[in-house]
Amino acid sequence: MKKDFSALLDFPEGCRAFGCAASSSQLGLRLKPWRNTERDIVFFLVIAGSRTAEVQGISAAGSTSAARRFTAVADAELLLNGPGGKRMWPLPPLPAGISPALISYVASRWIGLDPFVISVGLPQPPPFTHLRIESPSYGPADCISTGHAMTFTRVSGLWSKGFFLGRRLKKPLLLAESVPGGTTTAQAVLAGLGLQVADLISGSGLRAPIQLKKDLVGKGLNAADLGSEPSPQKIIAAVGDPFQPVAVGLLLGAMEARQPVLLGGGSQMVAVLALALAALSTELRERLAAGVVIGTTSWLLNEGANSSFGEDSPLEDLLDIVGDHFGVDLLGLSTGLHFHESAHQSLRDYEIGYVKEGVGAGALALLAQLQGASCKQLVEGCDLAMDELLMQSPLSEEKLRGCLNA
């Protein structure tokens, strides 16, 4: 039985710590950067594309393959401009629910945190200010089933540019992503690292297409013929996506800059952390792990868990398996946000499992709670944002903050 130190740290309502580091007496130290409301945070959102997302049935981040080509840009526009702001790309139709970018917008406004968007591997240039770290002519990565998703040169270049950005950090980093098909590429690179965790990888829909993911991953790895102990960059080039080398580079650069990192997401962020650990010597792995926290939603953390029998969720097991593989204790935190009392069905759909995480929603909601927002206030803010999204009537940030501060 793991000892739970979180009860001693005055966690906000419904928040949970998980992973082996959650039972460590060092938990409070790892949390300190994210509980410090006086400390500025850099917020990077990486939006990227992979033709893996165009495989029929692989992702629910858009009801059609064509719609998923524009999901990342639409998510970023909602986060940047809000539900009432001018947006060129409409949110893609979903089977149910609404983009987690709406949660991210509400929570980031509470915190007063503005994102910097990094665009890489998209089929179209974003219509807003963003950081471009490679030529748009590269486009999305190929489907992982080819075993040649990207050239090694491209991966190496993105890794280096991420490292350059991370090394220049002078503040803690919150890293989020919007990458349709990203849980499949995460599963693929974890398999390339020798981790057999296919049954622990979630997806964007109500039911993950487990067999389809396994088939694509198996086909891609067979075609790649990586050999024994391939490098992380070689694995990404074979079966990864453009977000991964940027994110790994950022992580490694942040470690060199001695800045802590909050990875907003689930299995995609665990995969990035695993790739970064694989790139380090045994001596440096603990240093990286000590400065990194996974921040996620309650919907993703609780997915598949059987609390009545004390069984961990797949995400908890995944984090522990990666930690055990590399000999480090990893830490995850989840927000306590729930939508049972929401006025909107699209938000209540989160409780059914139609949407779980994305665009840093869990990490941002967690930070908002750590800085004083109650779950009730966040739900009311999301309801107001949904009203505005549906009505397209102006809702000032002052009015939104007024609701959250009521």
Whether 185 is in a domain gets the answer yes
DSSP state for residue 14 in the 8-state scheme: T
Q: Judge whether residue 7 has pLDDT over 60.
A: no
| pLDDT in the model for residue 405 | 44
Q: Judge whether residue 400 has pLDDT over 70.
A: no
Whether 396 is in a domain gets the answer no
Distance CA 349, CA 358 (A): 15
Whether 103 is in a domain gets the answer yes
Distance CA 35, CA 71 (A): 32
Whether 284 is in a domain gets the answer yes
The pLDDT > 90 percentage for the chain reads: 63
Q: What is the CATH number of the domain that holds 344?
A: 3.40.50.10210
21-37 residue pLDDT tens: 887 777 888 888 898 76
Q: Residue 280's domain spans which residues?
A: 6-390
Distance CA 36, CA 405 (A): 19
Structure tokens at 70: 């524009």
258-270 residue pLDDT tens: 999 999 999 999 9
Rg (CA), the chain: 19
Candidates 66, 64, 99; CA nearest to 82 is 99
| pLDDT in the model for residue 359 | 94
Cβ atoms of 299 and 351 closer than 8 Å? yes
DSSP state for residue 61 in the 8-state scheme: S
Distance CA 334, CA 298 (A): 6
Give the H/E segment covering residue 268. Answer: helix 267-278
Whether 1 is in a domain gets the answer no
90-139 residue pLDDT tens: 666 666 778 899 999 999 999 999 999 999 999 888 888 889 999 989 99
Output helix, strand, coil percentages for the chain, rounded to the nearest 5.
Answer: 50, 10, 40
- Among all chains, which residue has been given the structure tokens 């010597």? 281
Whether 403 is in a domain gets the answer no
In this structure, the dihedral spanned by the alpha carbons of residues 181, 98, 360 and 239, taken in order and rounded to 10 degrees, is 0
Candidates 191, 217, 189, 199; CA nearest to 58 is 217
- Among all chains, which residue has been given the structure tokens 């990203």? 182
| pLDDT in the model for residue 305 | 64
Structure tokens at 323: 């930690």
Q: Determine phi and psi for 306, rounding to 5 degrees.
A: -125, 85
Whether 399 is in a domain gets the answer no
Q: Minimum mean pLDDT among 81-85, 135-139, 309-313, 394-398: which range?
A: 394-398
Candidates 224, 225, 222, 235; CA nearest to 155 is 235
| Total domains, the chain | 1
How many other CB atoms are there within 10 angstroms of residue 235's CB atom? 25
Whether 406 is in a domain gets the answer no
